[in-house]
Copies of this chain bind each other. A is one copy, B any other.
């Protein structure tokens, strides 16, 4: 911002025409307003010469819309969210919208701050995969009249949601094991108080209760040798079936299983909730429940677009289904 950038009126002055004329021409409304071809040419030329770049903020301020959607994600370095992020950004771009991405690290306070900042930036709508404390967010969202779509993690019941039925999908996993489990261990990532994780746990627990299978859930330790000990202990206590509750646990669980020298899938079995590109290359390749990542992103955009353009009422829940990738570990 050293040398002030050229503005509409700079061009107008240089050419002795009005700002309006320049604005019309540069927005391709020259013909519509019957500006002479010659003048149009001149204006466009001058704009290039002065390397004019329109000020989007001024335009938005005037027009009251920003053509920008805010995207609130817990962790962009997690492959799952990175993929969602990419899909959403691409799709929105095709629809003529920009995406403003923020990363909350599953930190509730930060999330609130960042959401406020998005609203300050006058976003037209918001797609969000919220951290746990939804109640805190609701007032923020109600204050503004911005359409919001929740993705991956549901928000309020009255709000839109696109994602997976975590409880159902998790409970279905029991029947995916190649042998009837003697004891199931759920390996829980940190932070564990995230709604999706809790729902998955619920699903497994209920299904185990029904099938009369012992179930235990364990928090994944930070230290890998603790993981190894923990898994070895579980095996000794009769566990033969492991479910990693998201893609952050899976490889570390596998590593623990290997250290315990358990034969997979003969002695023990492992299923991952969440797929990852690396899983097919592991030894054995890891069987995983694949979430429809792209579809979640696409559907979220479709929905926000409906809300934006057709002013539809919120409250619709879209549940997409997962696909079990049967490989070598189940």
Contact = CB atoms under 8 A, between A and B. Distances in A.
A109 B107 CA distance: 37
A310 to B, nearest CB: 13
A57 B53 contact: no
Nearest to A59: B120
A281 B281 CA distance: 10
A18 interface: no
Nearest to A286: B281
Interface in A26-62: 51, 53-58, 60-61
A237 interface: no
Number of chain A interface residues as a range: 35 or more
16 contacts: A1-B65, A1-B146, A51-B144, A54-B120, A56-B120, A56-B122, A58-B61, A61-B61, A76-B82, A76-B86, A77-B79, A77-B83, A89-B102, A281-B282, A282-B282, A283-B283
A117 interface: yes
Contact of A122 (B57, B90, B144, B251): B57
Contact of A53 (B105, B116, B278): B116
Given A2-B145, A283-B283, A119 B53 contact: yes
